[in-house]
Structure 1
Amino acid sequence: MSDIRLEIDGREVLAEEGMTLLQAAHQEGISIPTLCHHPGLEPYGACRICTVEIESRGRARLVAACLYPVERDLVVKTRSPKIDMIRKTILELLLAHAPQSPALVELGQQYGADPERFEKEASFCILCGLCVRYCSEIKKLNAVGFIDRGTRREITFIPEIASKVCWDCKECFSLCPTSALQAAFVLIEAMASSGKPTGSRGLAQMNHKGEADRS
């Protein structure tokens, strides 16, 4: 397999053919933030926090570093005013869903994100898909999946499978970039349901009820 020479943040980088920009950057100690990436899973590109700017043959464009393959003589910028603004806006949108997520709060502070910019729609889930993909690709159990589409999309544990395997596993809980509590609650709700999958919106409903009870 031949090596590919490219430039990342002004540094000459030698990468193996088939690597992504994210992998090439990380092997050189160049930091690119991610929320939906896991080295043991197939690239997904859901969060877009890893957006970088590339230039090839005089043409510049934005791509997801976790998906885009290395190319010969490619020039890559991992930070710029444009990139930082994109990441800032993405983080502000995600913070509306998971305002207390340590990972989001830390990244938000780095990029100057305003956690109050967008109206709160707390679901505690940013649809990174880590739990779904880990259960499918690594564990081969498919105990958790997505339901619905668009703004109603959410994750759900499948009661028939989850009730048999999840309590002894729980490996996906630590992958959640927002809170293991969300995953635990969805699991409990799924097992307690009458055979119908219960999704992540249930946690938001429980949270709102708790706030109302305390007021």
Structure 2
Amino acid sequence: IEYGICIPHLCHVPGLTDIGACRLCIVEHITNGRSVVTTSCTLKVQEGMVIRSNTDRIKRLRHNIAELLVAEAPNSRAIQDIAVRCGVKKVRYPFRNSNCVLCGRCVRACTELWHANALGFVGRGKNRQVERPLNMRHEFCKQCDYCVQICPMTITPCDGPMKPGEEYLCGKCESQLMITEEVPDSCVWCRLGEGFDCGRYAGNKALR
């Protein structure tokens, strides 16, 4: 984003350790003549690296990842907007209406910014979730609510929360969120790295 290249992301938070949980920031890293798909947030920069961020292969993979995220958590405005940016027109997967996509933003903020360790991942596979120790409010919780502020589930779609069985891809902001032909891979006003109040734009003009 700093250099005008829009790479969608959900789990990245400036100042926190990157873990590549959402997989949206995937790029092609060309090494020894081979193309390797990897998360850009966890890829260490080296001299002479060749990175491709907007190939047909990457766009196809991102599209599928974004579609899966919407199916998992359709009530997240952040995820809905990211899906539109990735060109998702419809969701082919069953909706689960989950209240967490395991992006780890809250866990890392609690541990790395506040050093409280009041949140953590428990379980494995499909049973993995974010919990307080022993499922109780930890005595070290500072009750700062920062975990809530940076959670992608806290901002619901324009029409409010969707009822189970009535989930859909919103897409109402498509004209403002889609990357236009004039800026095929640029999004200098994208604010996804700072929060979830995306800067809306049309062409090269930001809409506030």
Normalization by structure 1: what TM-score? 0.67
Distance 1:116 1:60 in 2: 28
Which has the larger Rg?
1
User: Corresponding residue for 1:161?
Assistant: 138
Are residues 1:174 and 2:149 paired? yes
Please report how far the alpha carbon of residue 80 of structure 1 lies from its aligned counterpart in structure 2 after TM superposition: 1.3
Distance 1:178 1:117 in 2: 21
Are residues 1:38 and 2:13 paired? yes
Normalization by structure 2: what TM-score? 0.69
User: Corresponding residue for 1:147?
Assistant: 122
Aligned residues: 158
Q: Do the aligned residues in 1 keep the contact of 2:11 with 2:22 (CA within 8 Å)?
A: yes
Are residues 1:113 and 2:106 paired? no
Q: Do the aligned residues in 2 keep the contact of 1:147 with 1:154 (CA within 8 Å)?
A: yes
Please report how far the alpha carbon of residue 57 of structure 1 lies from its aligned counterpart in structure 2 after TM superposition: 3.1
Distance 1:115 1:152 in 2: 27
Please report how far the alpha carbon of residue 115 of structure 1 lies from its aligned counterpart in structure 2 after TM superposition: 4.6
Please report how far the alpha carbon of residue 116 of structure 1 lies from its aligned counterpart in structure 2 after TM superposition: 2.9
Are residues 1:60 and 2:38 paired? no
Deviations 1:131-176 (A, max 9, x none): 01110111111111112110111112342416x7354x10111111
Q: Do the aligned residues in 2 keep the contact of 1:95 with 1:115 (CA within 8 Å)?
A: no
Greater helix share, structure number = 1
Distance 2:19 2:98 in 1: 21
User: Corresponding residue for 1:211?
Assistant: none
User: Corresponding residue for 1:102?
Assistant: 77
- Aligned-pair identity in percent equals 36
Extract unaligned runs of 5+ from structure 2: 157-162, 165-208
Distance 1:123 1:58 in 2: 41
Tell me the secondary structure at the aligned position of residue 55 of structure 1.
strand
Distance 1:111 1:50 in 2: 11
Alignment RMSD: 2.3
Distance 1:110 1:132 in 2: 26
User: Corresponding residue for 2:49?
Assistant: 74
Extract unaligned runs of 5+ from structure 1: 1-25, 182-206, 209-215
Distance 1:134 1:80 in 2: 33
Please report how far the alpha carbon of residue 83 of structure 1 lies from its aligned counterpart in structure 2 after TM superposition: 0.6
Please report how far the alpha carbon of residue 128 of structure 1 lies from its aligned counterpart in structure 2 after TM superposition: 0.3
Distance 1:67 1:137 in 2: 17
Instruction: Give the direction of change, closer, same or farther, for the CA distance of 1:117–1:136 in structure 2 (3 Å limit).
Output: same
**More contact order relative to length (CA 8 Å, sep ≥ 6):** 2
Q: Do the aligned residues in 1 keep the contact of 2:76 with 2:155 (CA within 8 Å)?
A: no
